[in-house]
Amino acid sequence: MFRSMYRGLRVAVVIPAFNEVGAVATTVTSVPDFVDHVIVVDDGSHDETARVAASADRGQVEIVCHGANRGVGAAIVTGYRRALDLGVDAAAVMAGDGQMDPSDLPSLLDPLADHEADYTKGNRFRSRAVWREMPPARLAGNIALSCLTKVTSGYWHLFDSQCGYTAASRRALLAVELEKMFPRYGYPNDLLARLHSAGLRVVDVPVQPIYGETWRSGISVGTVIYPISFVLLRSWAQRLTNSWRESA
């Protein structure tokens, strides 16, 4: 049964979902039984995402609805807030489109349970399958953004900045000023920089890249290039300012 915790951690899984009627039920039912709370954030979907997610409930699912679309970052922040209110020790994020392998969740939670990290994120590039699975344009974009995010966040040991499969400790969620987080695509790059300036420990964990036959994404170069460039420049400027302040 549910509410079993994971290695002493009370865990929530936050599922941001925007027009995911086709995949959200499978995503919800795939969440492992040790997860205490599943929080689906329906981000102003125009389809039946909320109803379908609710119908997959086995007793631990909550649906939170944004009246209008606010972006994937804002949807995740809504889920994090609810997770904090529920008193969880850790909150993982799994996208509502079924692109995350539930069997990878324990590896993301282990460094938190072992008190070795405050935040963990998936790294699909640790698997050779990434070269086969990830479409070439995404590979190129992800590699470029991962390299830039090393510089702008200050976490030189991390890669695959755009991987949305993550787990945050309660400590990290309380430290990063959720209200300031960037609401749209670019939020992972923004969050990493905030985690670094709060002095938190972040580690990469190998996860499986999943791009099924019906794969689609809300990301297109035209729509994300400006917000992501803005986030990267802002984080970089902030980091430079902080290091000048420290050395002054």
Ligand X SMILES: Nc1nc2c(ncn2[C@@H]2O[C@H](COP(=O)(O)OP(=O)(O)O)[C@@H](O)[C@H]2O)c(=O)[nH]1
Residues lying near Mg ion in the complex (CB under 5 A) are found at 97, 99
Eight-class DSSP state of 161 = T
Sequence-separated (6 or more) residues with CB below 8 Å from residue 137: 221
Task: Output 168 or 210, the one with its CB closest to Mg ion.
Answer: 210
Alpha helices (H) along 98-205: 105-113, 130-133, 136-153, 170-175, 187-197
Task: Verify binding: residue 18, ligand X, rule CB under 6 A.
Answer: yes
Q: Which does 155 bind (CB under 5 to 8 A by kind): ligand X, Mg ion, none?
A: none
The closest residue (CB) to ligand X is: 218
Q: Which does 17 bind (CB under 5 to 8 A by kind): ligand X, Mg ion, none?
A: ligand X
> Tokens standing for 240?
């430079």
**SS3 state of residue 42:** strand
Q: Of 72, 88, 109, 145, which one interacts with ligand X (CB under 6 A)?
A: 72
Taking the complex as a whole, the smallest distance from the CB of residue 172 to ligand X amounts, in Å, to 20
Task: Verify binding: residue 91, ligand X, rule CB under 6 A.
Answer: no
Task: Output 74 or 175, the one with its CB closest to ligand X.
Answer: 74
From the CB of residue 8, how many other CB atoms can be counted at a distance below 10 Å? Answer: 7
Amino acid found at 220:
S
Q: Of 97, 104, 110, 204, which one interacts with ligand X (CB under 6 A)?
A: 97
DSSP string, 91-114: EEE--TTS-S-GGGHHHHHHHHHT
> Tokens standing for 189?
């790059």
Torsion of CA 220, 221, 222, 228, to 10 degrees: 110
Q: Of 29, 55, 103, 217, which one interacts with ligand X (CB under 6 A)?
A: 217
Task: Output 60 or 162, the one with its CB closest to ligand X.
Answer: 162
Binding marks (x or -) toward ligand X, 111..150, rule CB under 6 A? ----------------------------------------
Q: Of 10, 12, 13, 16, which one interacts with ligand X (CB under 6 A)?
A: 16
Q: Which does 218 bind (CB under 5 to 8 A by kind): Mg ion, ligand X, none?
A: ligand X
Using CA atoms, how far apart are residues 141 and 174, in angstroms rounded to an integer? 31
Q: Nearest-CA neighbor of 176 among 164, 193, 194?
A: 194
From the CB of residue 129, how many other CB atoms can be counted at a distance below 10 Å? Answer: 12
Task: Verify binding: residue 25, ligand X, rule CB under 6 A.
Answer: no
Q: Of 84, 139, 181, 219, which one interacts with ligand X (CB under 6 A)?
A: 219
Residues binding ligand X (CB under 6 A): 16-18, 20, 43, 69, 71-72, 75, 95-97, 99, 162, 164, 217-219
